[in-house]
Amino acid sequence: MLYFVIRLIANAIAVALTVLLTPGVDLQPNVTGLLYTALGLVLLGLFFGLINSFVRPLALLITGRLVIGTMGLFTLIINGLFFYLLFFIAPDFLVVSEPIFLRSILAGAMMALFVILLEALFGLDSPVIDGSGESKFYWRWLAKVPPDYRKTIVANLRLKQDYDTIRRFGLDIMVDFTPLAGFRRFWQRLIYPHKRVVIEESAPETVRLMLQELGPTFVKLGQMAASRSEILPPEWQAELSLLHRSDEQLRHNPQKWHKLLEPQQIDLRSKCRYSNPA
Over residues 1-44, the pLDDT tens digits come to 889 999 999 999 999 999 999 999 998 887 778 888 899 899 99
How many other CB atoms are there within 10 angstroms of residue 218's CB atom? Answer: 17
Which of 104, 219, 105, 214 lies closest to 165 in space, CA to CA?
A: 214
* Total Cβ atoms within 10 A of residue 70: 13
The predicted pLDDT at position 248 comes to: 56
The partner residues of 94 in beta bridges, in order of sequence, read 27
DSSP secondary-structure letter at 218?
Answer: H
Helices (H) and strands (E) counted in the chain, each on its own, are 13, 2
pTM, whole model, 2 decimals? 0.79
- Are residues 105 and 25 in contact, defined by beta-carbon separation less than 8 angstroms? no
Q: Which of 254, 258, 175, 260 is nearest to 211 (CA)?
A: 260
Q: What's the confidence (pLDDT) of residue 132?
A: 54
Q: By three-state DSSP, how is residue 136 classified?
A: coil
